[in-house]
Every structure is written in C-alpha cells, then in structure tokens.
Structure 1
Amino acid sequence: MKAPTKYSELSPLEAIRRDLDRIFDEISPLSKMRSSNGGNGMELWAPDTDVSETDSAYMVSVDLPGLSKEDVEVSYSDNRLTISGKRKYEEKEEEEDFLRKERYHGTFTRSFTLPSEVKADDIKANFKDGVLSVRIPKSEVKKSKQISIE
C-alpha cells in the first residue's frame, strides 16, 4: 500500500487541480474561500448558511463549528442583516505534517438584504452547538381593502 503524500508534497495533477480551484475561487462571487494576503496565512471564508421564511418571520442559520458566541457579531442596519466573526488560527509549537488541510481560519462576513417589513427591535440571535440561529420577525403588512362603489 502506498504511503499518503504529505500536504506539502503535491503530485503535478493535484497541484494543477488546486491552481484551477484557486482561479475559480477568485472569479466566483459565491466562493467559499478568498485569499486575503496571497494565500500566506489568514483566509477569508464564508460559512454555510440557510435562510428560510415562515408566515411570521425570516430565519437565518449559520454553521460555525469551533467558534463561540464571543467570536461572532450580528448587526442590523438599513434593512441589512450582517453576521461576521473570526476563527483564530491555532499555532502549535511542533510542526505537523498535514496529509490534507481543509479547515479555514480568519475572518468572515455574510450580509443579507431583508424587506423593510421587519420588526428590527425584535430580532433575536441564539448560538448553540456551533450553529447561530437568527430570527427576524415580520411586521404586519397592512392588507389592501376592497372598496365597493356606490
């Protein structure tokens, strides 16, 4: 059985695949990873997010494994919900030989434009088991009234 290749020792095909991934990451607005300094250290990342709607509220759920609520900030201004935070890089005394490295660290920001019909003062955020849940209640929309002609 062939021994696994160290992270730093890429085959030529793997190196080409990574280069192509990097190119598509740079041109895609929905990219999961963006290099903030040319790939040397900190990376910008976008955590996976679900947005749903009920009759009474909008719900935003964000997967943030390994973060605590102190690492995350939620704000609302001008019909925009913004969720940002930072996953710290864990430096270790001993260098490890990575076989594969996929966990991102660094800052992230996700913003969502909401309709103006929300109760901004009643927005609630909850952080449990690495998942941030934000509930944005809808305000009552005045229904149109049919007027009979006499």
Structure 2
Amino acid sequence: MVLTFDPFREFDRLAGQMLGATSSGGVAPIAMPMDLYRSGDHFVLHCDLAGIDPGSVDVGVDGRVLTIRAERSPRGEEVQWLRRERATGTFERRLTLGDGLDLEHISATWKDGVLTLTIPVAEAAKPRRIAITTADEQSDRVLEGQTADV
C-alpha cells in the first residue's frame, strides 16, 4: 500500500470537528467530489454536481491551472427545514495540469448532474515507435548517393 503525504489532512480533520462538519467523527463529504482517470490518449474527469444549474458552472484554464466553479442556490427560504445536509453557495476545485496535455482541446459535457471533462494528451507526449536501421542499410544508402540520417 502506498501512502501519500497530505499536509492539510490533519488541518481539515480539526476544522471539521471544530465547525461541526462531521456528525460522528467521520470524514466530511467533499462539496464537489471527482474521479479522474486515463483512457487511451486522453484523461477523463467526472465531477458530481447534483442539484446545480449547469448554467452556473464555469470551467477555465489559466496557464496550467484548471478551475471548475459552480454555485448551488438555496431552495425555499419560506420552508421550515427539518434537515439540511446539502451545502449551498459557490464551490471551486483547482487542478494543476502537467506537461504533455493538449489544453486547447479540452471538452466539457453535462449529463444527469455530472460534469465530464475530456483532456487529450498532446501529440508530442504520445508514445511513438522509432524505426531501427541496420549498419548495412545505412551503408547501402551512402553508396546510392544518399546521406545517412543520424
């Protein structure tokens, strides 16, 4: 099992306990949970944004930082709430994108409250095969008046 260091994990746990974000000492839910995976020559990012108007979602890239911002409006101020667990307000996620991605061709789709971003791998970063020539093939080209490419 690989453990990754998260310098903010303890801070998040303490803040959650102090602010009452968790009911039984467990982990507080993230307002914009996401999944990220690679599928062939592109990366796919899914963000769960249930109950959010797709028109309030803003996706942008500034340099190598991808920002996803969404807003969930409060419902029914005239109602008497019995339990309210879905947070309202503005939610934001920022991801620093690595080299080798084609940031000009990121696409976004919305379906059933899930925002899906497709981030293609840049052509220069895709694996490619390099042809191998033998010494005999190079000397044959030199004899025919061609220069050997090195």
Mark the CA change 1:83 to 1:32 in structure 2 (over 3 Å): closer, same or farther.
farther
Task: Show structure 1 runs of 5+ residues with no match.
Answer: 1-18, 34-44
TM-superposed deviation, 1:20: 8.2
Give 2:113's aligned residue: 130
Deviation string 1:2-42 (CA, Å, 9 cap, x unpaired) is xxxxxxxxxxxxxxxxx98432889xxxx757xxxxxxxxx
Letter aligned with residue 22 of structure 1: Q
Q: Is structure 2 residue 67 aligned with structure 1 residue 82?
A: yes
TM-superposed deviation, 1:136: 0.4
Give 2:97's aligned residue: 114
Query: In structure 2, what is the Cα distance between the partners aligned to 1:144 and 1:62?
Result: 35
> Helix, strand or coil for the counterpart of 2:17?
helix
Q: After superposition, where does 1:96-107 map in structure 2 within 5 Å?
A: 96-98=80-82, 100-107=83-90
Query: In structure 1, what is the Cα distance between the partners aligned to 2:20 and 2:39?
Result: 33
Q: After superposition, where does 1:43-62 map in structure 2 within 5 Å?
A: 46-62=31-47
Give 1:23's aligned residue: 18
- Whether the 8 Å CA contact 1:25–1:32 is kept in 2: the answer is no
**After TM superposition, which residue ranges in structure 1, 4 or more long, deviate above 6 angstroms?**
none
Q: What count of residue pairs does the alignment treat as equivalent? A: 115
> Helix, strand or coil for the counterpart of 1:132?
strand
What TM-score do you get using the length of structure 1 for normalisation? 0.63
Deviation string 1:89-120 (CA, Å, 9 cap, x unpaired) is 123324x151x321110111101111121111
Structure possessing the higher relative contact order (Cα contacts under 8 Å, 6 or more residues apart): 1
- Structure with greater proportional strand content: 1
Return the index of the structure with the highest Cα Rg: 2
> Helix, strand or coil for the counterpart of 2:78?
coil
Query: In structure 1, what is the Cα distance between the partners aligned to 2:20 and 2:99?
Result: 32
- Structure with greater proportional helix content: 2
Deviation string 1:61-91 (CA, Å, 9 cap, x unpaired) is 0001111220100001221211011101123
